[in-house]
Structure 1
Amino acid sequence: MEDKIIADLKDSYGLTFNKITPVIGGLLNQKWKLSTEKGELLVKQYSIKRFRREQIERIESALQRQIILGKNGVSCPFLWQCEGRIIRWLDDETIYMVMDFCTGKTENADTITIPQMRSLGSTCAIMHRAFSQVPTPSVRNLPVFGGYTTALLWGNFNSCMTKYSPDAHVEYRKALLALEPILKQLNTDFFDKFPKGFAHEDFHSGNILFDVDCVSAVIDFDRNCYSYIWHDIGRAILSFALEGNKMNVKKVCAFLEGYLQYSALTLPNIADALRLSWCIETPWWIRSEFLGNCDETPKRFKDEMLWLTEHWFEIDSLICPK
């Protein structure tokens, strides 16, 4: 940790500490766990290689919404503020924030239990209910990332088909060609049926902490924005119920049971949420660099998109067995 951050933690927050432990995780950003007289805290320094100034400002707005969620019953880290701001700009290269350190462990599709899955569903519904209390923007633009319209999806597909060379990885060519039958039957009004509002937009296994049977905290609200709220549902089902090449229906139903404690949802809704996740995330993960050897995290996301591509026309029968 830079000396200037250590000095600012003392001057701006009155924090002194005797132990700093690096925390692994987070693309290019740096994190540290601090042991202080006010409890265990997490310091996150944002990467200027990853984020431009306007992106950091959007994150500040997202974190202000997280504060509202915390006040409305969502289990998420308490964010420390200084002069009404969450993110501290010490200079153009040193940008950081402070939050309470949340305990718990991450789970995945192989390790999560049915009670944890039920808790995940109820936590997701509580989060969406709390987000609904946040004033919506006057100009309700969907985020610029992802395929949020059929036109964007076709544009991404045509661009990829134009750019890939004849000697491209065979799996990449196969993955691209498999997208076309889905795009051809995707109506321009496909997105009209999905409810809009603020969503977490990064609701995957790395951002949810569990204790023995329950969710202990939802973390990393940096990407929350006005979007399609069912993307959170589809992303959670993919991260926690897709076991290899098979969807665990018991886990899907447990999530549904939990969600229904606070908000309406059906199994056909979840099937549509999975298709929505395909539309949004395919441009992120069906890319040449992820169809060869790549890190485990993008490989998991890529495999999920390939599974959805293969099973697009039978998703309802897979999660809604008669």
Structure 2
Amino acid sequence: MKDSIIADLKNSYGLICNQITPVTGGLLNLKWKVSTEKGELLVKQYSTKRYSRERIERIESALQRQIILEKKGVPCPFLWQYGDRVIRWLDDETAYMVMDFCSGKTENPDTITITQMRSLGSACAVMHKAFSELQEPSVKSLPNFGGYTMDLLWENFNSRMMKCAPDANVEYRKALLAMEPILKQLSTEFFDKFPKGLAHEDIQPGNILFHVDGVSAVVDFDRNCYSYIWHDIGRAILSFALEGNIMNVEKVGGFLEGYSQHSELTLTNIADALRLSWCIETPWWIRPEFFRECDEIPKRFKDEMLWLTEHWFEIESLLCS
């Protein structure tokens, strides 16, 4: 941790760091668990190589929403503010924030229990309900990356097909060709049936902490924006219920039961949410670099998209089996 951050923690927040321990995870961003007289905290420094100042300002807006959600009972970390700001800029290359350190552990499809899945469903519904009660975002525009509209989805697909050389990776080319029949049968109104609003947009194992009985914290609201709410649902099911090449229907049922305690949801809705996630995320993960040697996390995302491609026309029956 930079000396300037240590000094600012003391001068701005009255925090004296007794022990500083690096925390892994987070592309290019730096994180530390800090022991202070006011409890254990997490300090996160944003990478100005990964994020522009404009992007970090958008993250500030997302974190301001997180503050409101935490007050409404959503299980997420308490954020420290200096004045009315969460992110502190010390210079052009140093932007950081402070939050309470949340206990808990991460889970994956192999380790998560049905009880924890039920709690995850409940936490997602409570979060979506709290988001819906916030003042409507001034800009109701969907993200312009990924496949958030039919035009963007086709644009991404056609671009990749044009760039796909005859000698390209066989599995990558096969994955692209398998997408085309799905795209051709999608109607132009496909996206119209999905509710729009504020969504977390990054419900994956690294961003959910659990205790034995359920969710202890939903973290990392950096990507929170106006989007399709059901993308959170599809992403949660893929991240926690898809065990290898098999969808665990009991865990899907647990999530459904938890979510339905607060908002209406059906298995058909979940099937549609999975298809929506495919539309949004194939431009991110069906890419040549992820069909070569790559890190475990993008490989997992790629494999999820391949599973959805293979089972697109039978998702409902798989969820009901």
Q: Which residue of 1 aligns with 2:251?
A: 251
Q: For residues 29-48 of structure 1, what are the structure 2 equivalents within 5 Å? A: 29-48=29-48
Does the 8 Å contact 1:208/1:218 carry over to 2? yes
Aligned residues: 321
Question: What is aligned with 2:86?
Answer: 86
SS at match of 1:22: strand
Runs in 1 of length 4+ with deviation above 3 angstroms? none
What is the CA distance between 1:134 and its match in structure 2?
Answer: 1.1
Work out the CA distance in 2 between the residues paired with 1:176 and 1:281.
Answer: 13
Q: What residue number does 1:110 align with?
A: 110
* Counterpart in the other structure of 1:57: 57
Moved more, 291-300 or 165-174: 165-174
Counterpart residue identity of residue 168, structure 2:
A
SS of 1:316's partner is: helix
- Matches of residues 1-322 of structure 1 in structure 2 within 5 Å? 1-321=1-321
Helix, strand or coil for the counterpart of 1:12? Answer: helix
Structure 1 regions of 5+ residues with no counterpart? none
**Structure 2 CA distance, aligned partners of 1:19 and 1:168?**
50
2:77 corresponds to which letter in structure 1? Answer: P
Quote how far apart the aligned CAs of 1:133 are.
1.1
- CA offsets 1:8-52 (integer angstroms, 9 cap, x no match): 111111100210000000000000000000000000000011000
Matched residue of 1:283: which SS? helix
In 2, the alpha carbon distance for the partners of 1:63 and 1:115 equals 29
SS where residue 79 of structure 2 aligns? coil
Match of 2:84, SS state, is: coil
Alignment deviations for residues 221-275 of structure 1 (CA, whole Å, 9 cap, x no partner)? 0000111100000000001100110101111011000001111000000000000
Pairwise CA RMSD of aligned residues?
Answer: 0.7
Q: Deviations over 1:139-192 (max 9, x none)?
A: 310112220111111100110011122221111111111110000001110000
1:213, CA displacement in angstroms? 1.3
1:293: how far off? 1.1
2: CA distance, partners of 1:176 / 1:55: 31
> 1:197 is aligned with what amino acid?
G
Tell me the TM-score normalised to structure 1 length. 0.99
2 CA distance for matches of 1:204 and 1:264?
22
Report sequence identity in percent: 79
Instruction: Kindly indicate whether the alpha-carbon contact (under 8 Å) linking 1:149 and 1:188 is maintained by their aligned counterparts in 2.
Output: no
Q: Which moved more, 1:67-76 or 1:163-172?
A: 163-172
Structure 2: stretches of 5+ with no match in the other structure: none
Q: Which amino acid aligns with 1:95?
A: A
Contact 2:6 2:17 in 1 (8 A): no
The structural deviation recorded for 1:109 is 0.3
Q: Secondary structure at the match of 2:188?
A: coil
Contact 1:268-1:320 at 8 Å conserved across structures: no
Given that 1:194 and 1:230 are in contact with CA atoms closer than 8 Å, whether structure 2 keeps it comes out as: yes
AA aligned to 2:216 is S
CA distance in structure 1 between the aligned counterparts of 2:92 and 2:239, rounded to whole angstroms = 36
* C-alpha deviation, 1:292, in angstroms: 1.3
Deviation of the 1:2 alpha carbon: 0.5
2-structure distance, mates of 1:122, 1:139:
28
1:116, 1:214 within 8 Å by CA — same for their partners in 2?
yes
The amino acid of 1:285's aligned partner reads W
Looking at structure 2, the residues matched to 112 and 83 of structure 1 have their Cα atoms a distance apart, in angstroms, of: 39
